[in-house]
Amino acid sequence: MNLRRVRALARKEFLHVLRDPRSLGMAVAIPMLMLVLFGFALTVDVDNVPFVVWDQSGSDAGRELTSRFDGSPYFALVGQVVNDRQLDDALDARRALAALVIPPEFAERIESGRSVAVQLIVDGSDSNTATIATGYAEAITRAYSQETSVRAMRRLAMPPLRVPLEMRPRVWFNADMESRNYIIPGLVAVIMMVIAALLTSLTVAREWERGTMEQLISTPVQGPELILGKLIPYFTLAMLDVLLAVLMGEFVFHVPLRGNVALVFGMGAVFLAGGLSVGMLISIAARNQLLATQMAIITTFLPAFLLSGFMVPIDNMPPAIQAVTYLVPARYFVAILHGIYLKGVGLEILAVEAVLLVLFGAVMVLVANVKFKKKLV
């Protein structure tokens, strides 16, 4: 391999990128825009669930229970209803996702120390939100019930109630339970996979469409030199994107990076080498920029978004789909970034994922070099 020819090809590609605002926009602006849009819009937290109340008791006890729901960060009171029809209309129109129904005898039964049933009606069209909201409601009513029992025992001068079993949860790695801390590192992996493939999916195809490939073929440049020369500029731009993504995660989204920063960039470089080679392989096979772009999006974005464990836990997928996820390189990079960002672990824990990522990068570079033939047909 002649490094002088590689340097000349890399310089040519650098000049092309710098003189083409669209390429620069794709390389820098689009990843940042995607990170901002997905980072702020995408969340799995369930907060401020709108709910209505049908308080048939009209009592202070009923208002106190309602205030417990409205005062929590998980529910937001949007109105009162006085009959079944109004309750149904609120849920049908999605003005409310839940309805709290307090029976007429609520206060009397509470004051007499008897149990009373309170109904919570939840819109189950969004099963995830409904399940989480139901769990929040159970926790609120449980706390209210315990406090009510304690007050009743104090009035009767009885000894304080002692709970035989008390659970004290302790959350590791993401103590604030912020979904953003989990989403942003995985989002970086997904965006980098897509952008890396898109950047290089146009390189060889553009040469064929513009008729300059014949000139390159007539030169002494070898196939590996051409591949490497075209990869270097886009690899540099992609590493710049990684730097910007890390800085945005730190200063815009305030995601803690507990592990080794150098390991993030090292694994990012390996991942990008494979992703860029995937785009190069697509460009070699397609020979058409539009087709290459479409193939790059289909083969990178959908698998990385759906099958990497970024949004849907892999353990919850059917066994056949779980087997397919082992072929998705973003799965390993997502696991590595989560380990570095949230847990602060290193290669002693992430060795398997790192080795598989290195294997992916090496195989893609090799396949791209083998696929490229220095001939017109």
Q: What is the mean pLDDT of residues 32-37?
A: 88
3-state secondary structure 59-72: CHHHHHHHHHHHHC
Q: What's the confidence (pLDDT) of residue 375?
A: 62
d(CA 304, CA 37): 17
Q: What's the confidence (pLDDT) of residue 104?
A: 93
Residue 26 φ/ψ, nearest 5 degrees: -65, -35
Which of these, 238, 234, 229, lies nearest to 10 by C-alpha position? 229
d(CA 376, CA 274): 26
Residue 252 φ/ψ, nearest 5 degrees: -100, -50
Residue 113 predicted with pLDDT over 90: no
Higher pLDDT, 271 or 176: 271
Q: Amino acid identity, residue 85? A: R
Q: What's the confidence (pLDDT) of residue 377?
A: 54
- For the stretch 126-167, pLDDT in tens is 888 899 999 999 999 988 988 888 777 777 666 666 667 777
Delimit the domains of the chain by residue range: 3-43+178-371, 49-155
Identify the band that residue 319 occupies on the pLDDT scale cut at 50, 70 and 90. Answer: very high
- Three-state SS at 168: coil
Is 40:175 a contact under the CB 8 Å cutoff? Answer: no
Outline where 156-260 has alpha helix (H). 179-201, 203-210, 213-217, 223-251
- For the stretch 224-233, pLDDT in tens is 888 888 889 8
Residues 6+ apart with CB under 8 A from 311: 186, 305
Q: What's the confidence (pLDDT) of residue 247?
A: 93
Tokens of 213: 């490939």
Q: What's the confidence (pLDDT) of residue 151?
A: 76
- For the stretch 238-255, pLDDT in tens is 999 999 999 999 999 999
Q: What's the confidence (pLDDT) of residue 370?
A: 83
Residue 220 predicted with pLDDT over 80: no
Q: What's the confidence (pLDDT) of residue 203?
A: 79
d(CA 271, CA 207): 26
Higher pLDDT, 370 or 64: 64
Higher pLDDT, 77 or 46: 77
d(CA 185, CA 318): 25
Buried b / exposed e across 265-291, counting CB within 10 Å, b at 16+?
A: eebbebbbbbbbbbbbbbbbbbebbee
Q: What's the confidence (pLDDT) of residue 29?
A: 84
The CATH code that applies to domain 49-155 is 3.40.1710.10
Higher pLDDT, 216 or 367: 367
Q: What's the confidence (pLDDT) of residue 27?
A: 77
d(CA 151, CA 26): 64
Q: What's the confidence (pLDDT) of residue 14?
A: 84
**Which of 3-7, 42-46, 310-314, 371-375 has the least mean pLDDT?**
371-375
d(CA 122, CA 298): 37
Q: What is the mean pLDDT of residues 85-112?
A: 92
d(CA 50, CA 77): 6
Centre a 10 Å sphere on the Cβ of residue 17 and count the other Cβ atoms it contains. Answer: 20
- Residue 376: CA count within 13 A, CB half-sphere: 5
Highest mean pLDDT among 45-49, 145-149, 265-269: 265-269
Q: What is the mean pLDDT of residues 304-323?
A: 90
**Which of 16-25, 45-54, 357-366 has the least mean pLDDT?**
16-25
